[in-house]
Structure 1
Amino acid sequence: MSDKQARMLDYLSQTSGWITAGELADRLGVTPRSVRSYVTAVKAAAHPLTVIESGTAGYRINRDEFSAFTAEHRARPRDTEADTPQQRLSQLVRRLTEEVDGLDVYELAAENFVSDSTVEADLARVRLLLPDSGLTLVRHGSVVTLTGSETDRRKLLSRMFREESARGMIDLETIQREFTSGQAGADSLSAFKTDLIDLLDGQGYFVNEYGINNVLLHVAIAIDRVSKNLSPAPAVTEPPSELATSLSGLIMTHFDVCLGSGDLAYLAFLLTTRVITPGHDQPAETLIESYVQPAELAAMRAIVDRASQEYLVDLDDDDFIVRLTLHVRNLINRAHDKSYSRNPLTRSIKTSYPLIYELAVYIASELQRAEQIVINDDEIAYIAMHVGAHLEQQVRRVELVTCAIVCPNYYDMHVLLRERIERVLGDDLEVVAVITRSDVAWDSLDADLVLTTIDPQLHSDGVIVIQPFLTQGDVDRIRQHASRVRRMRRRARLKDDLLQFFDESLFSRNFYARDEVAMITALGERMTAKGIIDQSYVDGAIERELMSSTAFTDNLAVPHAMSMSAKQTSIAIVINDAPMDWGDNRVNVVALIAFSAAGRSTFQAVFDQFVEVFADRLEVQRLIKRSVDFASFIDELVHVMDT
């Protein structure tokens, strides 16, 4: 399957409804005709399974058949899959890392039943993988050899495997099939993981489940290469750590393989920097005494204080700062080693919690400057998880949805019903009235929701008929209505705030730029001409963009600076029929947001609300098509916000 076909399937699998060929073409940067050919090719590859359904509304994924196809694809033996360029590339790299004396180009062509030119093209692709890898492809006549250290060879194998894996967490079964097939204990990688987690828990560590499979990949690669009598990692002279010794015993028990001191030291290093954090169930004071240096804690506290002041959030908590310091210490080690930890939640965090992600970007930018390192999106998302978990603990029961209960009196049934509602839905609802009569003055009930056990005279979205003995179905419907009330209340309050930041002179239709920097520069010049921002804000927005893409959804990019130095909060917006490349996405809407210090109180609401408005794919497509000018854009924006 080609890269474009895989991307098409990936996009379809993330969408619940139908998608037209035109929309898919926009996402992939190809023509609708190419999309139709991709669909045909995928259907042929998956036959007799129907992984893609076609109809007048376009295409959609058949989730059951797609799951079966994916499972079948993963289960195929790797050595029977050398018929695509990506598969040939993987096998070629694997063999190059194993053959110390090199490979003959002509023999490779004959073995794989391809032409010499095809092998030459594959070798050219191998060379593209090698910059900054520490490895070099050397050619002597028809023989090509991969030179470099054993550690760098393993890193290349790990990187290629992760890039081939589907988006999300690395699958243990796939690792096992690729690297430990045929080894003693090969079916026990999952059991090894279980024992490893028990070991780490017993030693008082927090375990990052999102990162542990990445380390297990390195374990499997080490076992595979040592079992084939390939070069071990360089030995170390230091005495083995307690963790390295424990690892050695576990690996021998499960795989009957004895790893050298260098392998064990490296695997322990990976666990220490990617998976484990000390101090499970220990208070901040104990962690400071045992694990945290005063200087690193002070530096982290200074960064958190600046973030708190800049974004008007309360991050002043010793436990949060100490645990973030421990995480950041490992992050810095990974960044220096350029062995970043993959985060399968990066996309969802960025889309669903844009302000929390921005806070993480700010903290990461401060760390980059202080430590002279580069922090990627996955690592930023891990910082966001720390920040989000802390802020979630601060949430108070505010702005509860009010409700009135109508339950005619019968043996105190209304009392039992109220107790049940408050016990199950207390975080969503505040009961403001209980009516125990059957003759109800429905029009006089002053509450967001009315929960009634009798047929109401008043039929509206806010009146919900429930059973006297609350069922799970009742609970689910009440929660849905309460969520809708909160959303509508919030949107009603924010609509005026958001709309006041638009100006007709800062609206553009079908305005294109060469790339992200050119677009930010062009929009920044317009805002500068109106005296809203200065060049330093534009430079700050470009710096922020280069650090992590501001394409928060598949349709929207929101470039901005991390400082609030604008004269007033304002939005310059571009709406294009055809999407442009923006980071790894293709977006139709670009909104350069200038934030002012005076507008700090509305910053979070404006930012989150704006991203939320553009999260619904169908609504955004409607907005793009109907926003022919500024007036129609405002009308459509109001419509989307009121939906």
Structure 2
Amino acid sequence: MRAKYERLLDYLAETDDWVTAGELADRLGVTTRSVRSYVTSVKTAAKPLDVITSSTSGYRLNREAYASFVTDLRTRDSESGSPRERVHSVIRALGDAPSGLDVYDLAVSLYVSESTMEADLRKAKILIEEAGLSLARRGSVVSLAGSELNRRRLLSRIFRDESAQGFLDLENIQREFASGDLGANLGAFKSDLLAMLDGEGYFVNEYSINNVLLHVAIAVDRVSKEQSIGPAEERPASETIREIAERLDGLIRAHFGTALSVRELTYLSVLLTTRVLTPGHDQPTETVASTYLADADLAEMRRIVRLASEEYLVDLDDDDFIVRLSLHIRNLVARAQENSYSRNPMTRSIKGSYPMIYELAVFIASQIQRSEDITINDDEIAYIALHVGSHLERQNLREERVTCAIVCPNYYDMHVMLRDKLEAELGSELQVDVVITRADVDWAALSSDIVVTTIQAPTARDNVVVIQPFLTATDFEAVRRAIATVRRHRRRMQIKDELLQYFDERLFWRNLTAPSEAVMIRTLGDSMRALGVIDESYVEGAIERERMSSTAFTDTIAVPHAMVMSASRTAIAIVVNETPMAWGENRVNVIALIAFSESGRKAFQDVFDQLVEVFSDRDDLQRIVKRASDFPSFIDELVHVMDT
């Protein structure tokens, strides 16, 4: 029940609006009766907090109460009496007892029955074996069997499982090791470590450094208990690793009073260089390339970037971008070979907000997978997307600035101050093309994208923003929302006609189901093949692309496609379902198999992003799902939501 109502809370947390029981039932794949049961369970578990408000409009979260409830849940999970924490406590205890522990003594120490302890050991065994260890048993004595390195990886794993969403923050690590001076000194150690790395000319990935801090804390704690990972490996460390290890040794001795072995320091230094550090901060691109990259690696990255540029018609031919991405990929390959990926807290938002950039990253990742014979997961793809997105941002591949008319009746120089403040705050997004200082305004003659006015317009207009004479934070946010609305409408109008011509009544389905993503892709692909749009290789390519990373870019739409543009013509086969279908980790109402032709290459980026954007809006989606009973009504509703 806990897992089920957490999914309900996650969905409610995505919106401030009321959500009906029917919508929640569709999203969770259950009945409305089950939804009511989950809501009741939340209210019972959260007492006296009023987490969910119910009304005839549906359900809505009370944000403050929800935040307190989440904190309370984490506290409960960390208490020794919870089932998960008991399993973790058993693993920790076994890790600290090389000779093993008596099952009956364990049961007594955790205040559970012997049968409960046996059940906990079965659960622990799964985690233990996943870490490359085994659970040995002789009579009533159980022990861990395997390397110290794998024991540490297991400790790291269970700690991450206890953290919110699997991501680490310094406070949680400090709390875990609070019994001695280790936890108290971690903050100062991190500050000195960052200063040292910055001084050595490294870029630091702040999203990953706390993971390495956890490994440092585990190493110091284990060594203090005389649990070392053993002698140094025969393979010599690089000069870079040796230098970082030497400096790390000094910091660990200074902050924790502990001397780690050469292998311990080498292991931690490898973690730093493959997960956290990128060299070349404040160094010329040519120097970075010649110092840190092999010619063959750089040549391979140039090949991949050239392919991506040709396939998606973007300009990625930039030495700085290629060198920085090559350094990142070098570390990614090292992580993948160890099956030790970096987690990325932005994966979901990048995938949903920038589907085209994410798709470029998927293409690059697919080429790397083939050349290096590795697997790259969604989190690592999202890091590649950050590199791609940052480069495209620097190229200013953005919409043009929104034009603005200011209406501010003359009173001293108030209109001047108003314009100065707007341009100072929003100058990169807003272009003021007229300032009207009269009160008798010809509103119909104003042709700017938006009108910012200190007086009320006589008739309601969507593009008019009424503000205070002295701008407040609320006013700035209102103008930003208006800018976003204009840009959204502009993008939609630019490609509406183009998008609509790709739909075909013969490639439209209402309430079409399939047992899996692959079956759905084949079903839609067969229809496209019958019309001569694509061949079998395109269908297989779409399934292969789906295996790499789910094409459910949001919770509402999946956009399966191949990474080649080999269709005879550009077309979209689309399914609109009242009941969502499981797709990857999401449940989607819309599935759109896209096939692009070579001649449609230029439109690919805009159409792809626009399709995801249109169906990502919950209200627009619900309107289309409810009203699009056939193909003509689907087109009517699609045009309506794109025009608004």
> Shorter-chain TM-score: what band?
over 0.9
What's the TM-score once normalised by structure 1's chain length?
0.92
Instruction: Please name the residue that 2:135 is paired with.
Output: 137
TM-aligned CA distance change 1:8 to 1:115, over 3 Å: farther
1:184 is the counterpart of 2:181: yes
Shift of 1:198: 1.2
3-state SS of the aligned residue for 1:450? Answer: strand
Are residues 1:53 and 2:33 paired?
no
- How far does the alpha carbon of each residue in 1:484-530 deviate from its partner, in whole angstroms, 9 at most, with x for none? 22221221222222121111221122222121111111111111111
Aligned pairs (5 A) from 1:45-444:
45-74=45-74, 78=78, 80-84=79-83, 86-130=84-128, 133-167=131-165, 169-178=167-176, 180-236=177-233, 241-395=242-396, 399-407=400-408, 417-437=418-438, 439-444=440-445
Any residues of structure 2 matched to 1:602-621 within 5 Å, and which? 602-621=603-622
Distance 1:25 1:40 in 2: 15
Residues of 2 paired with 1:396 and 1:195: CA distance? 38
Residue 628 to residue 452, structure 1, CA distance change in 2 (3 Å): closer
Residues 258-286 of structure 1, C-alpha deviation per residue, up to 9 Å, x if partnerless? 32222211111111100011111222112
**What amino acid maps onto 1:174 in structure 2?**
N
Letter in 2 for 1:81: S
**Residue type at the aligned position of 1:152:** N
* Equivalent pair of 1:556/1:587 in contact (CA under 8 Å): yes
Q: Match of 2:81, as an amino acid?
A: A
Q: Distance in 2 between matches of 1:396 and 1:342?
A: 28
Range with bigger deviation, 111-120 or 368-377: 111-120
Contact residue 80 and residue 110 of structure 2 kept, 8 A: no
The letter of the residue matching 1:257 is T
Mapped to 1, the partners of 2:619 and 2:637 lie a distance apart of 13
Is the CA contact 1:453–1:468 (under 8 Å) kept in the aligned structure 2? yes
Q: Distance in 1 between matches of 2:66 and 2:424?
A: 41
CA distance in 2, matches of 1:76, 1:137: 27
Aligned residues: 640
* Deviating more after overlay: 590-599 vs 158-167: 158-167
Q: Quote the Cα distance in structure 2 between the aligned partners of 1:600 and 1:624.
A: 29
| Alpha-carbon spacing, 1:503–1:111, altered in 2? closer, same or farther (3 Å) | same
Q: Could you say if the C-alpha distance between residues 29 and 450 of structure 1 is closer, same or farther in structure 2, counting changes exceeding 3 Å?
A: closer
CA contact (8 A) 1:443 1:458 kept: no
Distance 1:83 1:453 in 2: 58
In 1: Cα distance, 2:454 partner to 2:410 partner: 11
Indicate conservation of the 8 Å contact 1:186/1:255, yes or no: no
1:158/1:11 Cα in 2 relative to 1: closer, same or farther (>3 Å)? farther
Is the contact made by 1:188 and 1:254 (CA closer than 8 Å) also made in structure 2? Answer: yes
AA at the equivalent of 1:71: T
Instruction: Say if 1:401 and 1:448, in contact at 8 Å, map to a contact too.
Output: yes
Q: For residues 608 and 77 of structure 1, what CA distance do their matches in structure 2 show?
A: 40
Q: Residues of 2 paired with 1:64 and 1:453: CA distance?
A: 34
Counterpart residue identity of residue 450, structure 1 = V
Amino acid at match of 1:539: E
Distance change in 2, residues 1:307/1:635 (3 Å): same
> Would the alpha carbon gap of residues 64 and 295 (structure 1) be closer, same or farther in structure 2, given more than 3 Å must change?
same
| Deviates further, 15-24 or 576-585 | 15-24
The one-letter amino acid of 1:83's match is S
- TM-score between the two structures when normalised by the length of structure 2: 0.92
- Structure-2 change in CA distance of 1:75 and 1:191 (3 Å): farther
Q: 1:115 to 1:580 in 2, by over 3 A?
A: farther
What whole-Å deviation, never above 9, does each CA across 1:421-453 have from its counterpart, x for those lacking one?
444333223333344555544433332233445
- Letter in structure 2 aligned against 1:357: Y
Partner of 2:535: 534
Tell me, in whole angstroms, the C-alpha distance in 2 between the residues paired with 1:46 and 1:208.
37
1:635 aligned residue: 636
Q: How much is the aligned-residue C-alpha RMSD, in angstroms?
A: 2.6
Greater CA deviation, 404-413 or 199-208? 404-413
For 1:396 and 1:83, how far apart are their aligned partners in 2?
51
Note closer, same or farther for the CA distance 1:97–1:15 as it changes in structure 2 (3 Å cut): farther
Q: Does the 8 Å CA contact 2:80/2:89 hold for their aligned counterparts? A: no
Say which is worse superposed, 578-587 or 23-32, in terms of deviation: 23-32
Offset at residue 88 of structure 1 (A): 2.5
Structure 2: distance between partners of 1:459 and 1:154? 64
Aligned-partner Cα distance in 2 for 1:233–1:169: 29
Q: Deviation at 1:566?
A: 1.0
Judge conservation of contact 1:183–1:255 (CA < 8 Å) in 2.
Answer: no
1:233, CA displacement in angstroms?
A: 4.9
1:149 Cα deviation (Å)? 0.8
- Read off the aligned partner of 2:82 and give its amino acid letter: D
CA positional deviation for 1:405: 3.5
- 8 A contact 2:550–2:584 mirrored in 1: yes
